[in-house]
Chain A
């Protein structure tokens, strides 16, 4: 495992998604930076911490499913049955 601060503090280039949002990592969206210049300023974040937050959120949501029920039914499978 290697860690280079310069790499971690250099996020991938921003790709516009809509007129108010960008993406730098797959399925991770951010407010367009130009909208965060007056009242709320963007913070510098290492890449690993951005991805840690995203994965933690996914872990939390998976935990919440298990908390309320043992299994989750797939709508895609039900729809496939209906269409088939």
Chain B
């Protein structure tokens, strides 16, 4: 049901549950929680506003809010850091926005079992500052590391920069309390255990309640797997005179079987061209540099040095030129914090224009990276020809795992959001659909990292999932009979009779 303005009785009940100060109705409170960094039609900002914001302080309060919303059929959108790139935290039907940032406490630190239990409103950087005292780390490391929250990582089933060593969010979160759309609180993990890393008991519900983009409820408290804080880090960057050599080298590095290998990244020619105009590390590089590769290793110093020596030899034999310690170390440190990058694009005449960073991702097998790259740049080139609103900022491919089978493949598009209108927005949505179609045509998945519930790409989710999409609809209808949780996302309105 669509609600555009909440009545006084709803406000009154929410204030009774949460206290007056945790129910926010001001324009700024709502405007600031309407968007995420994903491509956003700023000319239609008003369509994305929640009716009000609540900030619960406990699982019980979240449960009471959802019981109320379910009873009165009011849409609910959960919001954590608001850093996601697929609009999960963007309200499409107004209603109540549940901001979980007050759920930011460390509830338990179990040094013997190497776990901690936290409210889902906590940020990994702040958590790791506390864990460092015990020489431990929670190694979930997205590009939004300083600003994303654990709950959002669960709702997205996020991807980690160093996931080839430590695993991604699905591996690092052991279990969590989850509030269903009805307000019922359940605990999901492997089996029911809070600190269990492997169980074969029953359905594996943890995975069902990760990556749903807020359409199946709200995670409120999570138990996380911890590791020793690495003694040493090694992050070499290499330059190549052509993409083919860099592509071959990244494959060799990923398949080398080095135990401390945490990830490798391939930068294509368009990315190098972008960096050469705006990044202090690459502006002075000679024009012969056409592609880049980097790798990252973490562990004890003796392990990292031995593995690093092996990777340096592999890269050297593959024709790589090491870029030196200063660039390697500086660029790798900056990768943990991509949201802080100052952004400006170029018009076709070369003038600097203020642009936002928009990153489209897919999961692509190693052998298909070169052809996906060409097809995606054709789409970006079409956008660029259509309007100065768009700029092609090149592509990255990051290893998804330690064996080198598949890669988080990204194309970065600069968008001059202030100049968006209905025509250019339609062009963008069409491009996103085309990018997703290329990924599927190459046997990939529409997303490795962000999720796939935005306009454009979401149209192809039924094609990707096949019969699994009908199961998704059945699960949604069973768990959320009144469609209160994040309505309008992932084509799930079809579960309630909306046309496909």
Contact = CB atoms under 8 A, between A and B. Distances in A.
Interface of A: 17-18, 20-21, 27-29, 31, 35-40, 58, 60-62, 64-65, 67-76, 78-79, 81-82
Contacts of A18: 276-277, 283
B434 interface: no
Interface string B221-253: 000000001111111100000000000000000
B128 A40 contact: no
5 cross-chain pairs, A with B, having the tightest CB-CB distances, nearest first: A69-B233, A61-B333, A73-B234, A64-B333, A69-B230
B352 interface: yes
A28 B283 CA distance: 10
Contacts of B232: 69-73
B234 A79 contact: no
B179 to A, nearest CB: 32
A68 B277 contact: no
A76 B327 CA distance: 12
Interface in B260-318: 276-278, 280, 283-284, 297-298, 301, 304-305, 308-309, 312-313, 316
Interface SS of chain B: helix, strand, loop or mixed?
mixed
A73 B308 contact: yes
A76 B229 contact: no
Contacts of A68: 137, 141, 229-230, 233, 298, 336
A65 B231 CA distance: 11
Contact of A76 (B141, B324, B330): B324
B389 to A, nearest CB: 12
Interface stretch (B187-195, B206-214, B343-351): B343-351
B353 A39 contact: yes
Contact of B298 (A61, A64, A69, A78): A69
Contacts of B336: 64, 67-68
Contacts of A64: 333-334, 336-337
Given A18-B276, A75-B322, A65 B350 contact: no
A70 B230 contact: yes
A62 to B, nearest CB: 8
Nearest to A31: B352
A-side interface mostly: mixed
Given A20-B350, A64-B337, A74-B325, A82 B313 contact: yes
A72 B234 contact: yes
A72 B329 contact: yes
Given A27-B280, A75-B322, A76-B322, A70 B229 contact: yes
Contacts of A67: 125, 128-129, 132, 336
17 contacts: A17-B284, A28-B280, A29-B280, A31-B278, A35-B350, A36-B352, A37-B351, A64-B333, A65-B329, A68-B137, A68-B141, A68-B233, A68-B336, A72-B235, A73-B304, A76-B325, A78-B308
Given A60-B337, A64-B333, A78-B309, 9 more contacts: A31-B277, A36-B352, A39-B347, A39-B354, A60-B333, A65-B329, A68-B336, A75-B312, A78-B308
B171 to A, nearest CB: 18
Contacts of A29: 280, 283-284
Contacts of B276: 18
Interface in B326-372: 328-330, 333-334, 336-337, 344, 346-347, 350-354
Given A21-B277, A61-B330, A70 B231 contact: yes
Contacts of A75: 234, 236, 308, 312, 322, 324-325, 328
